Every structure is written in structure tokens, then in C-alpha cells.
Structure 1
Amino acid sequence: MTRRPTDNKSDDLLERLRVTFRAEAGEHLQSMSSGLLSLEQASSGESQSLIEAIFRSAHSLKGAAQAVNLEPIGLVCQPLESILAALKAGRLELKPSLLNLLHESLDTIGRLLSDMALLEQRRPLAAAAARRLDDALKGASTNGAKPDDSAMEAPAEMSYVVPNVTPGTVRVAIAKLDTVMRHAEELLVPRLAASQRLLELNEAVSMLASWKKQRARLQPALRVIEHSLQASSRGVAGEGSDHGILNGAASRKQELLKLLEYLDSEQVQLKVMEDHLARLSRSTAHDQRVLTGMGDSLLRDCKEMQLLPFSSQLEGFPRLVRGLAREQGKAVELMMQGGDIEIDRRILDAMKDPLIHLLRNGIDHGIGTPAVRAAKGKPPHGTITVAISQKDSGKVEVVVADDGSGIDVPAVKAAAGKLGAMAPQDGAGMDEQEAMALVFKSGLSTSPIITDVSGRGLGLAIVREKVEKLGGSIAIESHRDAGTVFRIVLPLMLANFHGLIVRERGQLFVIPTIHIERVMRLANNAIRTVENRETIPVNAQAVSLVGLGDVLEMPPSRAGEQPKPSTLVVVIEMAHMKMAFRVDEILGEHEVLVKPLGRQLVRVRNVAGASVLGTGQVVPVLNVSDLLKSATRHMSTSRAASGKLSGDNSEAVEKRAILVVEDSITSRSLLKGILETAGYRVSTAVDGVDGFTTLKTGKFDLVVSDVEMPRMDGFDLTAKLRADKQLSDLPVVLVTALGSREHRERGIDVGANAYIVKSHFDQSNLLDAVKRLV
């Protein structure tokens, strides 16, 4: 379809239509992807209806793309539609290779949609996908006849495509919905201000009532003074004394009498003022209640608008599972239940990555290959279940379960000991549930090799951190060779933010109450010093105690202040890390609105944002995650300083030595630069033979090697190192362009500790692997 000359208004309309098209195209792609996944498992009777639905979505997508002049997308849709029409008519046989090609075509369309501004530059990508579809259509036809295109012709001319919208609903951009939500939340500020004004008004009424009572008690004394002045005035006048003195005294007495009369008349004015303040207080209280009711109702309605069915997040998971399983040579079936339960969209968005981590973890660590499962008497295909169910008190439970090999508890304990997460002697007395909880430790992994999929020990740590940040909890159950179950409990809606307001060294701070375990006052003699750090007992457990001001690096308190007989403590827990903070004063818990610090202060350590109290005072809201890290760093620094003061003059730790074995001078220089910038001492070798000779003549802590090299490749070098008594324990990281499953398995077989594919190369992946291994 050729684009006609247009004016600026037409261009603006076209851009708006393309925004609408992108949302509609996403729905069509999701529908087709889900249909293809269902088609793989469908019976012959169900296949026809599924193909029909996929065909209609492809036809609608093609017409919509042509209507907004997005020809590259239409270029892919045309042969895609032809193949679906041939399947529908029975002229093509549905084979796994054809299904894979259809999935790849949808991936191509998704990439074209991801950045429509560069669509014309990606025309070769669209043309290549269209050629593959055309070739499949020609080569896979069962009777050699060309597909009948008469049933597939798009309308000759289209000017506008009406997006698919459910009757009684309207499509609203997420950005607009978030803006309305933000405005509704910001009503909290005037609500708090109104409450503060009402409090101040009530205080004024109380002060006036107290003044009135005091004046009423003085009234009898004023009457006595008045009578005395009147009697004294008459007595002086009868004595006939000096007229000047008499006139002066009489004048002063007259002024006093007038003052007393004024005070009598003021009594009426006080009563009028008191009544006025009382009416004003009642009307303010009424307005405050109305504002609170309307604000709460509006916020509740906005939150309900944010509710989405859980299925909207689950739709892409079958395809993800299918791809990950195929990549690892495994057969996995994904079962999903309870997708119609609605939950806050923001919680859904935040839970996308954790759920992907759990699915990837189940496929990579839990589900075995068909041969391994068959040897254990299991069906060749594994099953992963994602089940959502409604719980009491506005909560929802998400269960992610697999029927794989379960968690190897001894391996977890060994990995935790190697990581330093626990002392070796602690493992013997640890029960199975406590040991399984160790899998949430950052950096802990039982994988024998680090790859781009797993092995860094970060996935489950991220899952727990994000779940707890949302106010949820996660628990784990596992039985050897029976499978693993993760139970996640989440709130249905994000609650209003509540914070504990504390004062430290004259400054107010807000600490999120969701992470506060308890607030307590302790006698100073209850504080103990263990290994140069202060601790307090909490549930029979010693918890480290630090000063909030010390952690925040605030100026010290003024000298000369009297020590207090007791200490106020706030105990904070997050991601199973617990710390106690000493504060000067606790002002109570309040509902607060957290505001960002602005573009100039995007990231401030220990501060998550700011809040405005009802008094108008701006108070920083503390970032609990940063606070715990800063407290840990503060204690380590304090102990190190204490060690130096006590005569510990140990030598600085020597830099770790790494050998880079790489035949490409460009890659060798790149790896050397990355590692040296990170603080390592790096030597290089040009191939496996040179590398092995260097290792035998020098002392190194780790080897980073390419695989494809002359004379001796990386696999052979690794195998030779493992066979050498002196070098058998030396960690080896393979960085290579060979990314197939067979090559990764060979890397594991020869004894590599990490396998990083160059196509997925990220220097952070390399540095994470090196840091974990040395």
C-alpha cells in the first residue's frame, strides 16, 4: 500500500494511529503465540478451530499494518497468512519444523514492533523471514497446489482500524492511569494538612477555654477591688484634703473602674469568640472527614482500576518454558491455574522477573533430561505448575512447583560453607528447612558451571528481595527426587505507605514500617559487646546494634549532653537480614506519601525519597536496603579501625593473578583490560599450549580461556589442567562463541567452572563469575 502525500495534521493522525496499532498488534501476537502453543498439544478435532483463530489474528494484523503504512510488518504477515490458510484448507501438514518456523516469524514481528522508528532499517530482517515462510510453503505442500489466495485478500483500502475493545470498556494508556493514581495518592498531603489544621484549631479552642476559666476565677477578686475603690473614692471626697491630690487619685480610680467595666463587657466578646471557634472547629472536622472519605474512595477506585487478571502476566510463560526446555534438550509441560484472579498491575509488573527466575530455576536445576527422568522411573516430560489462589485478608498465594529432582541439601550446605554464608560446624546442627533457606543467599549456587542461564547464585536472592519489597513472603518445600515447591504470598493491592517517624541528632527521618520488626526501649546494661560490636537480645538472638546517626554519617551530638539511662531501638529486618538502630526519639507511625527527589538527585545513598508532613516539614524517607548495607559496612570499618588501633598491622591483600588464554589479539586485549580495570593482575597466552606452559612456570588464581584455538583448544586445556596434580583445583572460565547445549555439556564434562557465550557477553557476567571463583 503506497503512502499518499499528507499534510502535518495527517502525519500527526498517522502517528496516533500507530500508537493504537502497536497495542492492538501486541494483542494479536499474544493470541497467535498462545494459539501455536495450544496447537502443539491439541487433538485433531481442536486443531481446526485453533488454526482458524490464528489465521484471523494474522489477517487482522496484516490489514492493520497496511493501514498505518508499516510495510515490513505486512511483508512478514502475507506469507504467514498464506501458510495458515494452507493449513486451514488441509494443503499443508502441521510438523514440528513448521511450528518452529511460525514461532520464529512471530519473534521477528515482535522485534519489528519493538522500535517502529527503525522499521525501515529492519526491512532486510522482514524480507528474510518472509523468504523462509515462502520456502516452507513451497516445500511442505502436500499436493503441490498453490494456496488459494481468494479467501485471504485484505480490503482494498483502509483508513482506520478499530482496536479490539471489550464492550463497556475503554482503552486507557498506562501512563495516564498512573498519573490519575499519583494524583489520588497526593490527596494524602492536603488530608494530612487538614488534620494538622484541625489539631491546631482544637488547641486554640482549648487555650481559650482555659483562659476563660482562669478569668472566671479572678472575677470575684475584681468585684472586691471595684467595691473597695468606690468606697475609698467616697471617703477621700468627704475629708476635704488637697484638691490636686484628690483629683489625681480620683482620676486613677476612674481609670481602674473603667478597666473593670471593660473586662465585664469583654466577657460577652469572649463568649462570642468561643462560640465562633467551636463552630469553625466543627465545620473543619466535617470537611476533614469528607476530604478523607472522598480521598480514600477515589484512591480505592483508582487501585481497582489497576487490577488485572494474573493471566495477563502468564500468557508469555508457555513460550518461554518451551524455548528454555528445547535449548537444554528437555521436555517440559507448563500447567497454569487461577489466572482469572485479579491483582494490582504494579505488583504484576514487579513479579514478572521473579516468576521467570523460578521457571528458569525449575527447568535448569529441577527438571532432568528425558533419559535421566526415565532412569528414575518418571515420565520423560517434566511438569511445572503455576497456581494462583485467593487467600484471606486481601492476599493471594502463588505456587510454583516442579516434579524434578528436588534440592540437594548437602550440596547447598557445602556451597554455603564455600561462600562463607555459614561456619562448617553450623551445618551439622542445621535442620533441612533451615538448610533449604540458604538457597536465597546471594551468590550461592549448586550449579557445577556458570552459564548465561544459571550458576551465579543471584536468581533466588533477587526473587526473595523483590517479594519482600512488595510486602510479601516466600517459603520453600522440597523432597529429594520428588520436586520443589515455592509458595509466595502477596498483597492483592499495594497498601498506602506507612512510616515510623524518628528523630536522630535533631533531624527527622521516616522508616518504612513494613520492614520494622519491633520498636523497644532497653536499659543500657542490656547492651553487650561481642567481637568489638554492640549487640542486643531479640527473641534470644544477638542482633547487632548501631547508631542511626553514625550509619548516616551525621555530625556527632553536642558535647556536654547528659547520658540517658535507656536506649530507644528500632529493629529492622529485610531479606532475612536483621539489624537494630539506636535513635534519640520515636514520634509515632503515620501514613505518608513518598515523593522522588527529582532528576538532580536520582540516586542518594540511604534515601528512598522525601515526604511532607502535615506541618509542612519535608522529611527524608530512608531506603532500608541501603541502610542495612551501610550499617554492615560501618561495622566492618569500625572493627578494622579497632584492629589497627590494637596493633593489627597486617599486609595489604595481594592482587589476584589471572591468566587470559586467547588467540585473538582483539579479544585478548579486551579481556585483559576488563580484568585489570577490576583490580586483577593479568598475564596472557596465545593458545592452549602457551597457556599450560605459563601455568606450570607461574602462580595464578584463575584461568580465562577461549575454546577455539590452534595447537590446543580450551576444552583440551581444561581437561589437561584437571589431570595435573598441581593445577587440578585451578578455576577455569571458558569464554567462547560456541553456545550450543552440546558444547556447554562438554565444558561441564572437562571440568570448567564457568561457561560464558560471547554472543551474550557482558563484562558484568565475566566479573561476577571471576569474583565468585577466586
Structure 2
Amino acid sequence: MTAMSGHPPDKKSDGLLERLRVTFQAEADEHLKSMSSGLLTLEHAPSGESKSLIEAIFRSAHSLKGAAQAVNLEPIGVVCQSLESVLAALKAGRIELAPPLVNLLHESFDTIGHLLSMDAVSLGRPQPLAVTTARRLDDALKEPPANVEQPDEPATEMPADMPYVAPSVAPETVRVSIAKLDTVMRHVEELLAPRLAASQRLLELREAVAMLATWKKQRARLQPALRVIEHSLLAPTPGAAGERDGRGALNGAANRKQELLKLLEYLDGEQVQMKVLEDHLAHLSRSAEHDQRVLTGMSDNLLRDCKDMQLLPFSSLLEGFPRLVRGLAREQGKTVELLMQGGDIDIDRRILDAMKDPLIHLLRNSIDHGISTPTVRSAKGKPPQGRITVAISQKDSGKVEVVVADDGVGIDVAAVRAAAGKLGVISLQDGGGADEQDALALVFKSGLSTSPIITDVSGRGLGLAIVREKVEKLGGSIAIESHRDAGTAFRIVLPLMLANFHGLIVREGGQLFVIPTIHVERVVRLPHSDIRTVENRETISVNGQAVSLVALGEVLEMLPSRAGQAQRDSILAVVVDMAHVKMAFRVDEILGGHEVLVKPLGRQLVRVRNIAGASVLGTGQVVPVLNISDLLKSAMKQVFKPRAASTGLAHDKGDIAEKCSILVVEDSITSRSLLKGILETAGYQVSTAVDGVDGFTTLKTGKFDLVISDVEMPRMDGFDLTAKLRADKQLADLPVVLVTALGSREHRERGIDVGANAYIVKSNFDQSNLLDAVRRLV
């Protein structure tokens, strides 16, 4: 391909170029993914397979260069041109695939990715980053490694204008924008409403047929009596009796007889009309049943086909993870192997999009907190290289399980209990009483972190809370397993598809509710005698396990209406299980399971506690769909009294702030004033010092609850000040927060080594980060 000619642009050509660039963007993303995954495979591939992998990467780079030149995106073409030259040299054996070259190739792919994220106007101008990357690639060709045998014949490179021809014919495809696909999917999903309505009309028609049949039976039972009346009326009457009664009485009896005969005649004709109506209703019922069956089949097939278009293999999400893990591990001086299993399982694209950030956070978490450096692992008898596994498996027809596991240090349960006690989630006295599984579940609490250091990517205790929130928003659940020095595993259960699902419709207090069946373990009917009281709460036995029993209406704070059920011989309860938490909800009536379509509540009701959305039944009735995660949390609050309240740990944050005295050590008057202002606005008492020496003197002569210090200062920097405090018996336990512009891994590690409790990088400074760190430490 060659670049477009330089004729003066017009509106028509501009429009064509714009459409071409949209197509190019999708094509470029595919080529970049192919090159990245190919290079990652090449790093560990046997020598016999390396040539074919290099060839595949080379062809992708060549195609990307041609496509970029076709839409006048010169910076991308410049990088791809130099990339081609390096890959051609690798093919020919003129250079070796050494680690520095591998890193350079990965950085080149990152540069291309960055350029692809820029707008067309910016890419129309020279980009220094592209020029620098191209120059570094060209320089790599000038230093061929020693002892490399040169080939007898020079390798032939693909001409720049020769298009790449695929070796095999792929199925024909067409690109459709995601927005259009989502619109079609919504329209198809809406077919569920008229389908349910048709089912309801068929049910009502069947009820009408049944009513007519009942009427017909009752009418048939009257026939013998009507015949007797008819015979008596038609029997001859003695003439003398008529004469004695008089002429008027005779005429009256004759008239009544005539009217009764008309009534009997009508009733006889009614039987014929009833038969015609019965045949007509039977015909309508058969037709409605046929139409409903056809509509169900067509809508099911259409919905299935549209769902298939929305399905993507899990591997499409996993493609970028090896590079991510490799880069994060290199930053921290660690070596990590990433194993991925089950990537061929298809799942809703919308779920994949929503799960990208949570899975990335779990991988970061494993590398940052789980996997140790090779030296530490070797000292513990482990292989120097850590291992992270992402395994996807299908649990049943509607659910998939994603397990992210590492073989790292595991989670320190004692540290979790201590952090939870300090945060006020549990009492410091009772924290040790929580069993290990309950303590592990505390890591999902917002603000809870066991990290000894706060950086720009971890230590604030928000990540896992956000992960759980996003998983539960998709209708899934997350649980954690961990063993000290053996590793940690996060188990995520997700639905395969969003939108319509099966729900259990229940009635409570005169109101209908939908409970997603994905979280329903069972429905039970029990006599009142089976309810037991354990620790002042009602429980029932489910598979030998005591499960708390709560009234759904009370959890939803509805008006009490338990009188009717109290008079019954038994109770109905729905046992719900989510992330190893079980709860039985008592209801008035269970109407059965139905396929439902969840509709959002609208912008005015974006977040309603305990409610995930609404569904319209076939009858036209709008029914709330319950949010199981919220429902369990609300039930737990009702069943268990908050421990913090009973121990006096729940204080007002403002009261805590007013009691705390903080020393800010900073040589810059601007930064010093900024920090002082932020802290005083939050209610803390603040003193200042101009450097480490001044700060240490101030600390020896006053009483403070926390130190916030810069690192780079004259006379004594922040590292030395922290080390001096840790060596002093009186100040050894004083919390220290380092706020600095030094954000490298070495500086963060040095901050940890000298004993800092938090390390905040100024380039990522946010006053909420600072205040979060202070609240955790005081």
C-alpha cells in the first residue's frame, strides 16, 4: 500500500478518510494484539518454533504499516518501518533475541498503542515519541551480537507495496459498531414482554374455556328437572276444574304455561349456542397456543442468535494480561509466570468489558502483595519464579467461575483482624474471635488494607471493595481462600449472559418481588416447631447447617403483616446463597419461577437499596427485582448487632481529628502551607518544621500523633528522619507518612525499609489519599 496523494482535500474525501480511519482503528488493534501475544510466546518458545513466530509478527507489522500509510498516519508507519527491519534481521539470524531487544520490542508495541489512542489531528503532525522509538530500533541493528553465523544467502524481505495474503480462507465477516449491536440486542430482549403477554392471554383463554365447561356441566344437571316441568305443562288438564276456577283464572294459567314453554324453548336453544361458543373458544385456544408456540420459538431463536453475536471467548479479555503481568513484575524486581486456562469459554461481551478492571486489579494485587522477590522465595524453599493462575470453568448452563490464584505469601489473617479493628469494622477485643473465613471476608471492606505502605496503586484498601461491588453489580459473587505462605485464590462466579434471566416470584405483605434464581439454593416449607433460636436469632436447619431466618418484609422495612402466616401450620422460606453467605427469607407465598427481563429504574433512582431493577410480568404488573448482595447485607444488620457500636468504637471522625496533633516537615513553604491547610480543614491540629533536623527537635520537645514529611530536604532528609525516629525509644512507634516526588520502586522500597507507614507520590497527589492515610494511622 502507498500513502494517499496530496491533492487538496474536499468534504467528500475527508468523509472517506474518516471512515477509513475508523476501519483502520479496529484492524490496527487486532494487529497490535497479534504482535504482542506473538512476542510473549516467542520469549518461551523452543528454537524450532521461533522462526514461524517471528514471521507472524513480521507480517502483522508489515500489514499495520501499510494500513497506517493508507490513512496518512505517518508516525505509526515510521515505527512499523523500523520494527520491520529489526524483525527481518531476526528472521535472517543477523541479530539475537536477547532480553534487552525483547524489552525494546515490547516498548515499541506500547508506543504504537499510545499513538493509536491519539486523535487523527495529532497523528497528522510529527511525533517525537515515534521518532525516538524508531531511532532506538534502528540502533539495535547497528550492534549485532558476536559469534552469530551469517546466512549464506541474504534473506529476502517482503516488498513494502506487497499486500499480505492470508494462508487460509476465513469465514466472511462484517464489522458492526458495538452501539448498533447493543441497540439490536435491546430490541430483541424487548420481545420477551409481548411473549410473556401472549402466554398470559393464552392462560386467560384457557381459564375462560374452563369456566364455560363448568357452566355447561351445571346446565346439564338442570336438564332432567326441565324435562319434568315441560311434561307437566304439556299434560291435559280436567275441564271441570277450569270451569270452577272461572274464566279469568283459566286464562292466567294458560299464559303462565305459555311463558314457561317459551323459557324451556330458550333453554333448549341455549344449549346449541353454548356448543357453538365452546367450539369457537376451543378453536381460539388452539390458535393462540400455536401462535404463542411460534412466537416463543422465533423470539428464542432470534435472542439466541443475538446473544451469540454478543458472546466472546474469555481469551479475548486475557490477551493483554501476559504483558501486564510481565511489566508489573519487572517494575518490582520479580519474576512471575502467568498460566491461563479455559479461555475458550464464551461469555457476554458486556460482562467481559465490566470485568476487565477487576481482574487487572486482582493481578496487580497478586504481584504487589502476594508474590515475593526471587531472593525471599528462595529463602522459603520456593521456586524463584512466582506463579499466577487464571482459570475459567463453566459451573452449569448459566454460570461461569473465574479463579485468580497465586502461590505467594497468602493473607495474614491477624493483620486483617487488626486493620479491621482499627477501622472500627470489628472491635479490637472481639477481633480475634472471628473465624478465619470471616476474617478473610473483611478484606472486601472499603478502606481496609494490611499494606505497610501507601503508593499510587495500592495500600488504600479500596481496590477489593470496588472489585466486589462490580462483580455483584453483574449479578455475580466473589469469595476468597488463602493459606499463609501457600498462596491466595479469589473465586468469582458470574452469569454467562446479562439481561433476561430466571427469577423466583414471591409475595410478601401483598407485594410481589423477583428473586434471581442464580442465588436461590432451595425453597422450603417447614412447621413452626422446626424454627430454633440460636444466640437470640431464629434459625432453621438446612442440610444440617443452622441458617438464620428473617422475614423478607422486615428486611425491606415494609409494614408488618405476619399475623396471617402466624396462624398457618407451616412457613415458606427461600434459602439464598451468595459468596458462602446463606440466609433464609420467610415469605407469604411463592408463585413459581419465570423468565424475566430486568429494566433499570431510571436516572432518578440509580441506586435504591435492596432493589436491582424492575420487571414487567405478562399481566402488565411491574415487580421489583431484589438485589441479593444488598439484601444479605440488610439482613445481616438486622440479625447481628454492630460490634463497633457495642464497644464504643464508632466515634465521629471530626472528634477524632480534633484530638490528633500532626507535625508537617517540609522545606518548601508552598507545599508546607498546602499540607497544613488540608489537614487543618479536616480538623487536625498542625505544627510545622522546615527540615529533618528541625522536625526531630520539635518531636523531642512536643507531643504528636503523626508525622508527615517530605523526602528531599537540606540537613536531614525524610528517609534519615524516619530512620532516626525508629531508632529512638520514645518515638519508635510514631506513624510517619512520606510525601515525595520520588516515585521509583527503589525509593518506595527504601521508604518501607526505614520504617515509613505510608508513601505518597506527589505526581499522583490527591488530598483524599493523604486524608485516607492519616485516618488509617491515627
Q: TM-score range by the shorter chain?
A: 0.7 to 0.9
Tell me what 1:14 maps to.
17
Residue number in structure 2 paired with 1:738: 742
Q: Distance in 2 between matches of 1:521 and 1:697?
A: 71
Q: What are the residue-to-residue correspondences of 1:247-258 with 2, within 5 Å?
A: 247=251, 250-258=254-262
SS in 2 for 1:654: helix
Tell me the SS of whatever aligns to 2:143: coil
Correspondence list, 1:514-525, <5 A: 514-520=518-524
SS, match of residue 656 in structure 2 = coil
Amino acid at match of 1:133: A
The amino acid of 1:683's aligned partner reads: V
Match 2:339 to one of 324, 335, 338: 335
- Give the aligned partner of residue 138 of structure 2: 137
Counterpart check, 1:281 vs 2:285: yes
Structure 1 residue 685 displacement after superposition: 2.4
Within 5 Å, give how 1:404-483 maps onto structure 2.
404-408=408-412, 411=415, 445-460=449-464, 481-483=485-487
TM-score (norm 2): 0.82
What letter corresponds to residue 328 of structure 2 in structure 1?
Answer: L
Contact 2:710 2:740 in 1 (8 A): yes
SS at match of 2:608: coil
> 365, 371, 385: which one pairs with 1:367?
371
Q: Secondary structure of 1:112's partner?
A: helix
Q: Is the CA contact (8 Å cut-off) linking 1:51 and 1:88 kept in structure 2?
A: yes
CA displacement, residues 393-412 of structure 1 (integer Å, 9 cap, x when unaligned) = 67666554444444555555
Please state whether the residue corresponding to 2:454 is helix, strand or coil: coil
1:323 aligns with 2:327: yes
TM, length-normalised to structure 1 = 0.83
Say if 1:602 and 1:416 are closer, same or farther in 2 by CA, change over 3 A.
closer
Q: Distance in 2 between matches of 1:287 and 1:65?
A: 54
Match of 1:29 in 2: 32
Question: C-alpha offsets along residues 570-626 of structure 1, whole Å, 9 cap, x if unaligned?
Answer: 454434445555544443332211012234443334332210001011122222333
Change (3 A) 1:631 1:733: farther
1:223 aligns with 2:224: no
- The yes-or-no answer on 1:57 pairing with 2:68 is no
SS in 2 for 1:536: strand
Q: Per-residue CA shift, 1:478-532, capped at 9, x if unaligned? A: 665554555656665569522232334443322223234455567778878899x
CA, structure 1 residues 431+601, in 2 after alignment: closer, same or farther (shift >3 Å)? Answer: closer
Which of 291, 294, 303 is residue 290 of structure 1 equivalent to? Answer: 294
| Distance in 1 (alpha carbons) for counterparts of 2:703 and 2:590 | 57
Return closer, same or farther for 1:219/1:7 CA change in 2, 3 Å cut-off. Answer: farther
Counterpart secondary structure, 1:729: coil
Distance 1:97 1:700, change over 3 A: same
Counting only pairs closer than 5 Å after superposition, residues 339-358 of structure 1 correspond to structure 2 as 339-358=343-362
Preserved contact between residue 735 and residue 757 of structure 1 (Cα < 8 Å): yes
* Counterpart residue number, 1:105: 108
Counterparts of 1:165 and 1:603, CA distance in 2: 49
- Alignment partner of 1:142: what SS? coil
SS in structure 2 of the partner of residue 254 of structure 1? helix
Deviation string, structure 1 residues 226-265 (Cα, Å, up to 9, x no partner) = 4444559886993276656654554454333212211111
Question: Is 1:82–1:152's contact at 8 Å kept on the other side of the alignment?
Answer: no
Q: Give the SS at the match of 1:272.
A: helix
Between the two proteins, the alignment pairs up a number of residues equal to 760
Contact 1:609/1:621 (<8 A) preserved: yes
Which of 267, 273, 287 aligns to 1:269? It is: 273
Q: Do 2:427 and 2:643's aligned partners in 1 also have CA atoms closer than 8 Å?
A: no
- In the TM superposition, 1:295-310 aligns within 5 A as 295-310=299-314
| Helix, strand or coil at the partner of 1:655 | helix
Q: Quick check: 1:704–1:733 contact (8 Å CA) kept in 2?
A: yes
Identity between Structure 1 and Structure 2 (%):
77
Cα distance, 1:745 vs. partner?
A: 0.9
- Between 101-110 and 515-524, the greater mean CA deviation after superposition: 515-524
Q: Aligned runs of 1:640-659 on 2, under 5 Å?
A: 654-656=655-657, 657=660, 659=662
Cα distance between partner residues in 2 of 1:559 and 1:344? 42
The DSSP-based 3-state class of the residue aligned with 1:610 is: strand
Q: Distance in 1 between matches of 2:733 and 2:599?
A: 52
Rounded to whole Å, the distance in 2 between the matches of 1:327 and 1:638 is 42
- The match for 2:183 is 179
2-structure distance, mates of 1:493, 1:37:
31
CA–CA separation in structure 1 for the residues paired with 2:496 and 2:625: 24
Alignment of 1:630-645 (within 5 A): 630-631=634-635
- List alignment gaps of at least 5 residues for structure 1: none
Q: Aligned AA for 2:324? A: L
- Offset at 1:215? 1.6
Larger mean Cα displacement after TM superposition, 316-325 or 368-377: 368-377
- Deviation by residue 1:351-397 (Cα, 9 ceiling, x = unmatched): 43343233223322333222223334444333334445566767666
Aligned pairs for 1:520-531 (under 5 A) are 520=524
- Measured in 2, the distance between the counterparts of 1:562 and 1:334 equals 55
- Given that 1:517 and 1:572 are in contact with CA atoms closer than 8 Å, whether structure 2 keeps it comes out as yes
Look up the equivalent residue of 2:455 and give its one-letter code: T
Assess, with a 3 A threshold, how the Cα gap between structure 1 residues 613 and 172 changes in structure 2: closer, same or farther. same
Identify which range, 110-119 or 52-61, moves more after superposition: 110-119
Q: Distance in 2 between matches of 1:314 and 1:773?
A: 37
Alignment of 1:428-577 (within 5 A): 445-460=449-464, 481-484=485-488, 496-520=500-524, 535-537=538-540, 539=542, 548-549=552-553, 551-554=555-558, 556=559, 564=567, 569-577=573-581
Residue 57 of structure 1 deviates from its aligned partner by 1.8
Residues 622, 765 of structure 1: alpha-carbon distance in 2 compared, 3 angstrom cutoff: farther
Task: Tell me the distance in 1 between the aligned counterparts of 2:281 and 2:503.
Answer: 33
2:76 paired residue number: 73
Residue by residue over 1:262-308, the C-alpha shift from the partner in whole angstroms, topping out at 9 and shown as x without a partner, is 11111100011011112211222222223223333333333334443
> 2:474 and 2:573 mapped to 1: Cα distance?
25
> Secondary structure, in 3 states, of the residue corresponding to 1:597?
coil
Does 105-114 or 421-430 show the bigger shift?
A: 421-430
5+ unaligned residues in a row in structure 2: which ranges? Answer: 146-153
Task: Supply the distance in 2 between the matched residues of 1:687 and 1:597 (Cα, whole angstroms).
Answer: 55
Inter-partner Cα distance in structure 2 for 1:461 and 1:639: 20
Q: Is the 8 A contact 2:689 2:698 kept in 1?
A: no
Q: Check the 8 A contact 1:528/1:536 in 2, yes or no.
A: yes
Tell whether 2:622 aligns with 1:621: no
